[in-house]
Amino acid sequence: MRRLEVTSRWGDYPVLVGVGLLESLETIIAEGALQPPCAVVSDRIVAPLWGGSVAERLGIGLDEIPGGEADKRWSAVEALCGRWLDAELDRSATVLAVGGGIVTDTVGFAAAVFMRGIGWLAAPTTLLGMVDAAIGGKTGVNLQQGKNLVGAFWPPRIVIADIATLTTLPQRELRAGLAEVIKTAWIGDQKLLQLIPSTPDLGYRSLDPAGWEELVARTAAVKIAVVIADEREAGGRRALNLGHTLGHALEAATGYDRFLHGEAVAWGIEAVAVLAHRRGLLSDDGCARLRGAVATLGTLPPIADLDPETVCGFIASDKKRDASGVGWVLPTDDGVRIDQAVNLGEMISVVRLLQESRGKTD
Ligand SMILES: NC(=O)c1ccc[n+]([C@@H]2O[C@H](COP(=O)([O-])OP(=O)(O)OC[C@H]3O[C@@H](n4cnc5c(N)ncnc54)[C@H](O)[C@@H]3O)[C@@H](O)[C@H]2O)c1
Ligand SMILES: [Zn+2]
């Protein structure tokens, strides 16, 4: 097991990464002097796989939320708070989220507002959750107008990343998580790219459990370093948006049902590699390394049929909404530069180039 520490103005917390951690939850809670949780929350898929057995082991109730981006909204928070009230949870209660980013974002936000804030523990069960969503204290839900528009900074008391949960994760979800691993590795630990399995199509079996443990822990360590340096997203944390400007636009342009978030980010990373290379920010070798890492993810959902101008139109509306996103994050040979201006013509030409270079064969 590896243990990382996050320092936070809302309270420091550890991130544990290891195989089979959920089986020794009681010990982890006791050794960490944590308040034992009063309820477990999972989504409909994770509940029978992992959440139910955790609740049973701890002898507490299991709440199910629907899961899915469309249900990550106020009504889920309201329903959870109602159930916690019915179960007589009070201000001193703690709850445990067992699931992917949808579950940890929703439960974390419900914990932030229930009785003006109760403690919560995060047990992420997706690769994306382990290396990204469960770390950093951002919680929230979607509005009809867009994703993650209401939320709170409300970190968990502990993050328990049990690698064993990845054994049931669908290959596509694993690959989407690997795109975020590539992004984070590029920012702060490029040697980590060598650990990424070159055959992710094999899913969990493409790496041994110790390999996953190292991959998750080292990626989480980079995210932790970035958020500690900029907890409230005033500057440096925006580095984590590498690949996300075009990624978000691709998701929006396809009605959020063609790409998993990480798959769209993978295309976005390729785009910024090309943009940065053209500007001389990224060397030939750097560009080849970054694009090579994305290529290990295999075939992504296609972009060849999309109209580049329509896709880039979504970038403008995304930027308008996100006051912090004044510019793009572009990769350099040893990290990133934030707030880089990219004009519409450049964006369109990069999308066209990607459509020609990969889109046709995908
Ligand atoms: N708070 C943050 O800083 C932050 C950062 C990144 C992403 N996010 C949010 O995270 C969400 C995406 O998270 P995600 O990719 O984990 O998606 P998710 O929670 O929807 O999980 C993906 C799918 O995998 C299933 N699943 C989860 N764990 C499983 C397991 N072990 N075995 C089998 N199936 C499993 C889920 O039921 C779901 O169908 C988005 O809403 C995004 O906005 C938040
Ligand atoms: Zn992302």
C-alpha of residue 262 to centroid of ligand 2, in Å: 6
Q: Whose CA is nearest to atom 27 of ligand 1?
A: 100
Q: Which ligand has an atom closest to residue 127 CA?
A: 1
Please determine, for residue 229, whether its predicted confidence score (pLDDT) is greater than 70: yes
Mutational pocket test of ligand 1: of 6, 45, 248, 322, the residue with most ligand atoms within 8 Å of the beta carbon: 45
Confidence of residue 322 (pLDDT cuts 50, 70, 90): low
94 and 35 Cβ atoms separated by less than 8 Å: yes
- Known catalytic membership, residue 138: yes
Residue 180 CA: nearest ligand 1 atom is 6
Over the chain, what is the mean pLDDT? 94
**Ligand 1 — pocket residues by CB below 6 A?**
43, 45-46, 49, 67, 69, 72, 99-103, 105, 125-126, 128-129, 132-133, 136, 138, 147-148, 165, 168-169, 173, 261
Please determine, for residue 324, whether its predicted confidence score (pLDDT) is greater than 60: no
Residue 103 CA: nearest ligand 1 atom is 19
Average the pLDDT over 252-274 and give the result. Answer: 96
Confidence at residue 45, expressed as pLDDT on a 0 to 100 scale: 98
Q: Which ligand has an atom closest to residue 126 CA?
A: 1
Confidence of residue 316 (pLDDT cuts 50, 70, 90): confident
115-124, 186-195, 206-215, 324-333: least confidently modelled range: 324-333
106-120, 142-156, 202-216, 319-333: least confidently modelled range: 319-333
135-139, 197-201, 262-266, 322-326: least confidently modelled range: 322-326
What is this structure's pTM? 0.96
User: For 163-216, how does the pLDDT look when each residue is reduced to its tens digit (9 = 90+)?
Assistant: 999 999 999 999 999 999 999 999 999 999 999 988 777 788 888 999 999 999
Please determine, for residue 360, whether its predicted confidence score (pLDDT) is greater than 50: no
Average the pLDDT over 46-59 and give the result. Answer: 98
Confidence of residue 235 (pLDDT cuts 50, 70, 90): confident
Please determine, for residue 362, whether its predicted confidence score (pLDDT) is greater than 60: no
**Percent of the chain at pLDDT exceeding 70:** 96
Please determine, for residue 358, whether its predicted confidence score (pLDDT) is greater than 90: no
